Structure 1
Amino acid sequence: MRYLWLDEYLMNKRGVTKDFQPVWNWIRYHIGGKMFAALCLDDAGKPYYINLKLDPMESEFLRGQYPDILPGYYSDKRCWVSVRPDGAVPDSLLRNMLDQSYGLVLAGQSKKARRAALGLTACGLECAACPLHSKECPGCNQCNGRVFHAPAGKACPLYACAVHKNHRTGCGGCPHLPCALWEQVRDPALSDEAFRASVSARLENWKGVPSNAL
């Protein structure tokens, strides 16, 4: 296979997991428990197809342009394609196709499921890394934003703005970031420098998430 970068490229995407399906002899890549790409192996363990999902019109167009892009093997042929791993599809195009597949499958899930799959809160915190998680706070995905520091019975202002008001997955991609609400929910124990670093880290966590999944 000429695309030796494929596994590392996919596993570097936020929230991606992989498994091996022994009956099919496929290495499958998932986001939120849903497959978005697969490496189909023959009995000798050699890849013979890379399966991924595309918009149906994009799928039809690319199949007409590249002989090495075929209707999806053992998949819905309207929106899945199979790429020959030793073919002539440019690396840059295959990366773009894999990005699209990741985005389509992620965007097809509920906003709550997207945040869970990405391991992020609405504001971009990594819940599992927070020392208060599972102790004082279940995480905004589990309590619909009613975290310990929010007004009684209400959602955190950042969650309320992103999810309830603007119907987004989270703050990622918002043109107003960082806004005054971030100061409103600022941890008073943080210095100015630590607060700025926290904001930067949270915004960085949203980078790489496809725009159609934001």
Structure 2
Amino acid sequence: MDHQQVHDYLLAKPCTSVSQPFGEGVDVYKVKDRMFATLALGKMGKEDDEHRHWRVNLKCDPDEAQALRDIFSAVLPGYHMNKKLWNTVMLDGSIPTGELERMMDNSFHLVVEKMPKKCRKNSKKIYGVEHS
């Protein structure tokens, strides 16, 4: 997936908005005012401008976050985020589309699940997430 496909996929989630509260160049995706992803063009380390990649930060279960880092070289601890709960995924084409979509879905669902009960009312219908 390229950055435009990731943008479209994230924005297609129910009740999602995008803004740039950290300045131009960093898109922040929120569901009901709660961040579940960021998308930015950047470099990691001392790479020159020709080797910049789009990257997406996604919330993740701590155990799964580490497992994904072990499996995929393009998954790193969350850049400027809580490194236990967030991963940075480099959009370099090395991660299969289905896996990247699963990671984005999980990030969205983790944020929805943490919303107060009144915000989750009708969540199965609106968000596609079941709650007890």
TM-score with structure 1 setting the length: 0.52
Q: CA deviation at 1:51?
A: 0.3
Q: CA deviation at 1:76?
A: 0.4
Equivalent residue for 1:2? 2
Spell out the pairing of 1:13-32 with structure 2 (5 A cutoff).
Answer: 13-23=13-23, 25-32=25-32
User: What is the distance in 1 between the residues matched to 2:18 and 2:3?
Assistant: 17
Equivalent residue for 1:95? 101
| Runs of 5+ consecutive residues of structure 2 not aligned to the other structure | 44-48
Spell out the pairing of 1:3-152 with structure 2 (5 A cutoff).
Answer: 3-23=3-23, 25-42=25-42, 48-115=54-121, 122=122
Q: Give the aligned CA root-mean-square deviation in angstroms.
A: 2.4
Answering whether residue 128 of structure 2 is matched by residue 209 of structure 1, we say: yes
Higher normalized helix content (fraction of residues): 1
User: Once the two structures are superposed, what CA deviation does each residue of 1:10-69 show, in whole Å capped at 9, x if it has no partner?
Assistant: 11111001101344731010012111001023499x753210001001101010000000
Verify the 8 A CA contact 1:39 1:47 in the aligned structure 2. no
User: What is the distance in 1 between the residues matched to 2:116 and 2:11?
Assistant: 22
User: What is the distance in 2 between the residues matched to 1:68 and 1:42?
Assistant: 13
What is the one-letter code of the residue matched to 1:83? V
Higher relative contact order (CA 8 A, sep 6+): 2
What is the one-letter code of the residue matched to 2:128? V
User: What is the distance in 2 between the residues matched to 1:24 and 1:61?
Assistant: 32
Verify the 8 A CA contact 1:36 1:102 in the aligned structure 2. yes
Q: Percent identity?
A: 30
Verify the 8 A CA contact 2:3 2:54 in the aligned structure 1. no
Q: How many residues align?
A: 125
Verify the 8 A CA contact 1:29 1:36 in the aligned structure 2. yes
Which ranges of 4 or more aligned residues in structure 1 deviate by more than 6 Å?
none
TM-score with structure 2 setting the length: 0.82
